[in-house]
Amino acid sequence: MEVIIAGIRQALSMLVSFDPEVMAITWLSLKVSGTATLISLFIGIGIGTAVALSSFPGRQLVVSLINTGMALPPVVVGLFVTIFLWRNGPFGYLEILYTPTAIIIAQAIIATPIVMGITLAAMQQLPRKLRLQILALGATRLQMVWLLIKEAKLSLMAAVMAGFGGVISEVGASIMVGGNIKGYTRVLTTATVMETSKGNFDLAIALGVILMLFAFAINLVLTRIQQRERPQ
Amino acid sequence: MKRCFRIVGLLTAFSALLCMLVAGDADAARKAAAKQKNLILATTTSTQDTGLLDVLIPIFEKKTGYFVKTIAVGSGQAMTMGSKGEADVLLVHSQAAEKKFMADGNGVNRRLVMHNDFIVVGPPTDPAALRGTKKAAEGLRKIAAAQALFISRGDNSGTHAKEKEIWKAAGIQPEGQKWYQQTGLGMGQTLGVTAEKKGYTLADRGTYLAMKKNLGLDILLEGDAVLLNIYHVIEVNHAKWPKVNAPGAKAFADFMVSQEVQKIIKTFGVAKFGSPLFFPDAGKKVEDLGK
């Protein structure tokens, strides 16, 4: 028990004193996971909306695949990304293995199906007649899609939070493709794993607490945006 | 419509902010420009978990301008990375595997860096009555006879290789036995599991000393010559893998056996743990160690 209290105390003292190493690690975590989430939003909402609004043969299969993708194990994603980015692998010439960019790629792959799946469900839940109504009022197709996205905003914000939550807390892929390199690709989760294996449990807990605090702060902002225009 | 603008505005601001963060990352840009100076060091978990590399790497980087990417995995995985040309230089401790690695032409210039020793640790109550045993193989035989819980790394690391070697010498096939469990984790975590389950395990002294305060495990067997834990630095063969950073690998290997580093190794850990974690051996012969 004492170790938890010591950990929380250490987390607070590191935050208050702006411990430069912890700040850098936290900043990198937010930057990497934020970028990955942003990328996943473009792809996820785009494809999710397209699949939700269209019908084509094999659609059920595609939807099942997307939903399965929501359960993609990060380690497996990490393994595949590593193999592809190896120096002597197909994308080796990019030389981005063990860089923050590699982590962004892996995390974007993890978050995209999550965002896509939730988008799909959200868009399908909108009344079918809404589309006709919007089009009847003279909107172009693009305007219609935009209005539908706006209509599903509540659920889409949930998609953002789920995607971000999925990647900021993820460790398997980050450690594999990033390598947990000090001052370069060490993020909060990989640092926590390392400190645990070093036996520095209080420091590991402190890092965990900081991760939760930042996740809470970001979700608070997102939730405010989400709830501001709650339908009365 | 106003609402709509607000959302667009928010989204744009969010995107712009993120893009700025990524693009304006001067640090990343600097590192990208210094791409040629990247050096991948694949090493064992013990060198990272003891904190030794945290001391040495910054000195090396400052001195040479290389940017070292330390990938801390087991010796087995480190050598697999080397044999695929996915690392430039290795710092490992798995003699038999290293010899095979060299024989297969995967590495060049294998040099002795330092040693410490393996120890068998276990609960102070010592249910298998290991205390006082001098020979490692005999100790493991006692553990097997008492069917006392033994926790193995099980991850092809240098420590795991050494453990298998001793089991073989003891003439025991522990795998599949009820009292034999494999964690598949690094040394630090395996020590944690061992402490929690009050079992025995084979550990390198460095990691044990670094973690001792949380464990409640005692050293029950030490000093057998077979328990020497010897670290070599190996440069990955540039002729086999042209993408390997050969000058960087050589610079790092030279650095590890340099007088300056050997001196640091000699005193590393003394202040914190009361005894050194590693003994510098550059220029010595393996046969002369531990004498």
Kindly state whether residue B160 falls inside one of the protein's structural domains.
yes
Is the pLDDT higher at B196 or at B275?
B196
**Does B172 share its domain with B259?**
no
Range(s) of the domain holding residue B80: 36-115+230-283
**Does B139 share its domain with B217?**
yes
Q: What is the mean predicted confidence (pLDDT) over B5-25? A: 48
- Nearest beta carbon to residue A98 from set B40, B85, B243: B40
Q: Which tens digit of pLDDT belongs to each residue from B161-172?
A: 999 999 999 999
Residues 6+ apart with CB under 8 A from B144: B150, B170, B172, B174, B177, B179
**Does B46 share its domain with B73?**
yes
**Does B152 share its domain with B222?**
yes
**Does B143 share its domain with B196?**
yes
Q: Do B214 and A182 touch (CB under 8 A)?
A: no
Q: Which residue has the tokens 């603008």?
A: B5
Structural domains in chain A, sorted by start: 2-227 (1.10.3720.10)
Kindly state whether residue B291 falls inside one of the protein's structural domains.
no
Q: Which tens digit of pLDDT belongs to each residue from B224-246?
A: 889 999 999 999 999 999 889 99
Is the pLDDT higher at A120 or at A225?
A120
**Does B136 share its domain with B200?**
yes
Kindly state whether residue B126 falls inside one of the protein's structural domains.
yes
* Mutation target among B52, B67, B70 for the A interface, most CBs of A within 10 A: B70
Q: Can you tell me the distance from the alpha carbon of B113 to that of B101, in angstroms, rounded to the nearest whole number?
A: 17
Q: Which tens digit of pLDDT belongs to each residue from A12-58?
A: 888 888 888 889 999 999 999 999 999 999 999 999 999 999 999 99
Task: Determine contact, residues B126/B14, Cβ cutoff 8 Å.
Answer: no
Q: Can you tell me the distance from the alpha carbon of A42 to that of B149, in angstroms, rounded to the nearest whole number?
A: 52
Q: Do A194 and B40 touch (CB under 8 A)?
A: no
Kindly state whether residue B12 falls inside one of the protein's structural domains.
no
Angle at the Cα of A73 (from A69 to A76), degrees rounded to 5?
A: 110
**Does B108 share its domain with B54?**
yes
Output the six-digit token pair for A34: 């934020």
Q: Do A31 and B54 touch (CB under 8 A)?
A: no
Q: How confident is the model at residue B156 (pLDDT cuts 50, 70, 90)?
A: confident
What's the Cα-to-Cα distance from A75 to each of A171, A172, B72, B92, rounded to whole Å?
Answer: 8, 5, 17, 25
Kindly state whether residue B6 falls inside one of the protein's structural domains.
no
Q: Say if strands B89-92 and B38-43 run parallel, antiparallel, or are unpaired.
A: parallel
**Does B42 share its domain with B73?**
yes
**Does B181 share its domain with B207?**
yes
Q: How confident is the model at residue B35 (pLDDT cuts 50, 70, 90)?
A: low
- Say if the ipTM goes beyond 0.85: no
**Does B108 share its domain with B122?**
no
Task: Determine contact, residues A49/A119, Cβ cutoff 8 Å.
Answer: yes
Q: Which tens digit of pLDDT belongs to each residue from A55-110?
A: 999 999 999 999 999 999 999 999 999 999 998 889 988 889 999 999 999 999 99
CA distance B69 to chain A (A): 6
Task: Please state which of the ranges A7-16, B8-17, B122-131 shows the lowest mean pLDDT.
Answer: B8-17
**Does B82 share its domain with B217?**
no
Domain total for chain B? 2
pLDDT at B24: 45
**Does B143 share its domain with B177?**
yes
| Residue B147 belongs to domain with CATH number | 3.40.190.10
